[in-house]
Amino acid sequence: MTGAYIQPDLLSRDFGTISELVRAHARLRPNHAALIHDGRRLDYSALDNLADRVAATLQRDQVSPRHTVAICASTGIDYAALFLGSLRAGVAVAPLADSAAPRALEAAAADSGARILFLDRAVASAWPPAASAPDTSPGAVPRVVIDDRGPSGLEHWLVEQGTIPERIDPQPDWPFNVIYSSGTTGVPKGIVQPHSFRWANAQRARLYGYDSDSVTLLSTPMYSNTTLATLFGALALGGTVVLMGKFTAGGYLALAQETCATHTMLVPVQYQRLLLHEDFDRFDLSSYRMKFSTGAPFAPALKEQVLRRWPGGLIEIYGMTEGGGYCMLEAHKYPNKLHTVGTPMPHHDIRLIDEAGRELPGGETGEIVGHSPAMMSGYLNQPSKTRDAEWRDSTGKRFIRSGDIGRMDADGFLVLLDRKKDMIISGGFNVYPGDLEAVLREHPAVLEAAVIGVASPRWGETPVAFVVLKEGAHAEAANLTAWANERLGKMQRIAVTMIANSLPRNGAGKVMRPALREVYLASPPRFEGGNPLADVRGE
């Protein structure tokens, strides 16, 4: 008997938990690989036992259901096991970005109310002094260093092998995890996702060809919602998850070929780097059934390349960590819709509203709001921000505001235009950076492009472009500006183009526009005669 036989029965229920699915797989296929990382392999029986030890240890330490623990570490099997064991104890997890600044980590950990901090040695050595007081200090949060073999390490913290925790039955509205938004300033914003959210994720995984024989290769950070949705979806179906730490194109391709990967989740910039690898076409990727992308805009030309050069289907998923409605583009089925992010998923309701919150008819441009079975409970400790993120229709139905601007085409496919906050208002006209970036990417020398708005005494705001050139290509910044402006509308024209070695991105692959704005403000190009459209070189 294989895990495939239990999946339809358990996953067809209105609600269940990832933990019980893993336990069921451990009983039916105890020796089947659950997690693989850097030469280490953990089968379902061992994963189930380790999760039990984690849950029992949390109970020993009086970490109660609906409390929170925080994990801040690099990718690894113990990270996944700690997450699963915490869930088994009914404890929520706050996965923190190990790439974040120490002060931001301290603020997020404090905001989450974490009862224990699980760190690796690299993070522990950089943790702010205020948070590193001895565990005996009043109010200090105990720390466990996952990869330390000494008294502060994971193995020393855990109860002995074979210890069985008290059974806990999490309820649908209990917090599963708290994911902190990737903002660079201000108070951290913790997105609370309940168990019902992740259960809906697991049920959706059946639609994508996941099963007990699938092999999922994950190379995105463990703190990312993208990673967690894929990780728990794959484990829910009894498959094997291969974890990759630091992403490199060559390393990924070799691992994909070696493990006969069937599924993967990548952000668009990773697809770009893989396809640019000089040996891409020499690797055997024929085992792939499905590839996914989310988290950042996916250029139509890049989607077309993936379809043409990489076996298996390609699905782009558009949505937010907060939940709300999701759209899905099955690119292999709709090659003429690569400029869209697809249609609303089953049981997902996507609508468009204007600035006043009025619902717009089809075909008009507005802010995207969505409702689905998987929605956040709210922002932790920030009820006013939660209310600001919600919109309700005339019946009182709750939607989450995306902050994105889009429109539905005649066939019901969503065309994503831009982030509302990134929209440039120039001379009273709305200018969408995505439109300008698409034109710049058409230039034969341009690999990537990002456009921001900067203050202009004449127009209010004016567009400034940052471009990354293809390897071996050469182009003058001023010539790129002129080339693009010949193809843009009068009110879209770019003021200046700046050539960069790379674009700053967060862990989810999104371009960090505030960082680009800082670069521009640090050394703004001089505009001749006060004309923001002068022929200026800004290399």
Q: What is the pLDDT of residue 297?
A: 83
State yes or no: pLDDT of 27 exceeds 90: yes
Same domain for 412 and 427, yes or no, is no
Confidence of residue 539 (pLDDT cuts 50, 70, 90): very low
Whole-model pTM: value is 0.82
Highest mean predicted confidence (pLDDT) among 189-193, 328-332, 415-419: 328-332
Same domain for 405 and 519, yes or no, is no
pLDDT tens-place string over residues 89-116? 999 999 999 888 787 888 899 999 999 9
pLDDT tens-place string over residues 498-513? 999 999 887 777 888 8
Tell whether 539 is covered by a domain: no
State yes or no: pLDDT of 36 exceeds 60: yes
The parent domain of residue 404 ranges over: 290-419
pLDDT tens-place string over residues 137-149? 445 789 999 999 9
State yes or no: pLDDT of 221 exceeds 50: yes
At 53, list the tokens: 């030890």
Domain stops at, among 419, 452, 487: 419
Q: Please, are residues 436 and 467 in contact by the beta-carbon 8 Å criterion?
A: no
Confidence of residue 134 (pLDDT cuts 50, 70, 90): very low
Same domain for 148 and 72, yes or no, is yes
Same domain for 137 and 70, yes or no, is yes
State yes or no: pLDDT of 536 exceeds 80: no
Same domain for 27 and 143, yes or no, is yes
Confidence of residue 324 (pLDDT cuts 50, 70, 90): confident
Q: What is the CATH number of the domain that holds 469?
A: 3.30.300.30
Domain stops at, among 419, 443, 474: 419
pLDDT tens-place string over residues 183-209? 434 457 899 999 999 999 898 888 888
Parallel/antiparallel/unpaired status of strands 143-145 and 117-119: parallel
Cα 464 → chain centroid: 27
By the 10 Å C-beta count (0-12 exposed, 13-18 middle, 19+ buried), 335 is classed as middle
Same domain for 215 and 295, yes or no, is no
Q: What is the pLDDT of residue 182?
A: 56
Confidence of residue 412 (pLDDT cuts 50, 70, 90): very high
> CA-CA distances (angstroms) from residue 319 to 313, 316, 372, 407, 422?
20, 10, 11, 15, 17
Residue with tokens 């001023």: 478
Average pLDDT of the chain, as a whole number:
88
Same domain for 106 and 152, yes or no, is yes
Please state the domain count of the chain.
3
Same domain for 432 and 526, yes or no, is yes
Q: What is the pLDDT of residue 323?
A: 85
Confidence of residue 317 (pLDDT cuts 50, 70, 90): very high
State yes or no: pLDDT of 3 exceeds 50: no
At 486, list the tokens: 């010949």
Phi, psi angle pair for 319, to nearest 5°:
180, -175
State yes or no: pLDDT of 9 exceeds 90: no
Tell whether 447 is covered by a domain: yes
Q: Where are the alpha helices (DSSP H) in 260-291?
A: 268-276
Same domain for 409 and 445, yes or no, is no
Q: What is the CATH number of the domain that holds 350?
A: 2.30.38.10
Same domain for 445 and 507, yes or no, is yes
Nearest to 92 by CA among 66, 118, 111: 66
Q: Please, are residues 433 and 424 in contact by the beta-carbon 8 Å criterion?
A: yes
Tell whether 279 is covered by a domain: no
Q: What is the pLDDT of residue 490?
A: 78
Element (H, E) at 402: strand 398-408
Q: What is the pLDDT of residue 307?
A: 98
Domain stops at, among 396, 419, 442: 419
Q: What is the pLDDT of residue 537?
A: 25
CB atoms within 10 A of CB 252: 21
Same domain for 414 and 429, yes or no, is no
Tell whether 390 is covered by a domain: yes
Q: What is the DSSP string of 511-526?
A: B-HHHHHHHHHHSPPP
